[in-house]
Amino acid sequence: MSAPTLTKSTAPSTPPRPKAGMGVGRWIRDRLVAVVGIVALLYMFAPIFVVIVFSFNKPVGKYNLVWNRFSFDAWTNPCGASGLCDSLVTSLWIGVVATLGAVIIGTLAAFAIGRHRFRGQATANVLVFLPMATPEVVAGSSLLTLFLNLGVPLGYTTIVIAHIMFCLSFVIVTVKARLAGMDPRLEQAAMDLYANPRQTFWRITFPLVLPGIVSAAMLSFSLSFDDFIITNFNSGSRVTFPMYVWGVAQRGVPVQVNVVGTAMMLVALVFVVSGRVVGSRRNRLK
């Protein structure tokens, strides 16, 4: 028998040769992505690393800008700097109250805008983003003008009102996005099983929206605690933690400020890790 002959259709095709420079270009591209990622991480975490390290510093003078020697003195006495703990308590109290107010009002507004149809709904969706786009200097000065014309004394009340105002948009957008991502068939199935509207809300809708509400609350507290510009306009004689840091920075930031900053970052890290653990456990159960 004669050996089979290879035709043009059956002959094995040779892979095309890569063009000159393709290997070098791919190598540069891959390495460049890695380098850019590393630089971005260093850019984000270098200030945090400096804050943590200098919280253990024992400065020679009042300026905590140059490393001297390792010490736990600031950690054992975090309230050693005059006025620091008072301003910290003020910021925590304002942050909690403003977060509760913004979450309650914002969640109700998100349900109203996201679940109901009414005249002017499109306009409301656009106006929700307006406070987020307004510069804080403009918002702070406008609120100050409003409070002065209404005769409202500046202090705790004006700070809380101002913080609820600029946190509302973030809460509405976050909760409304969670509502938009929900599957409406789940609520329909509950009603098909003879659940009344109240039971459907508390057993189906609210548990599904709760992660968005929690995220909005954490974001609102962070924004409220960290705000300086709007608070500076409407605080009166009250001093929050950012205002305290700005004031002492002109004379020398004490080490205790780094201690408070490090502690806050550790608390935030615990919340983030806990959320990831709970989320991964829920995904495994599914």
Domain extents for the chain? 27-74, 83-253
User: 179 with 111: CB under 8 angstroms?
Assistant: yes
Give this prediction's pTM: 0.80
- Tell me the fold of 83-253: MetI-like fold (1.10.3720)
3-class DSSP assignment, residue 274: helix
Q: Averaged over 85-112, what is the pLDDT?
A: 94
Percent of the chain with pLDDT over 90: 36
Arithmetic mean of pLDDT over the chain = 85
- Check whether 14 has a pLDDT greater than 90: no
Distance CA 204, CA 189 (A): 10
Distance CA 125, CA 116 (A): 12
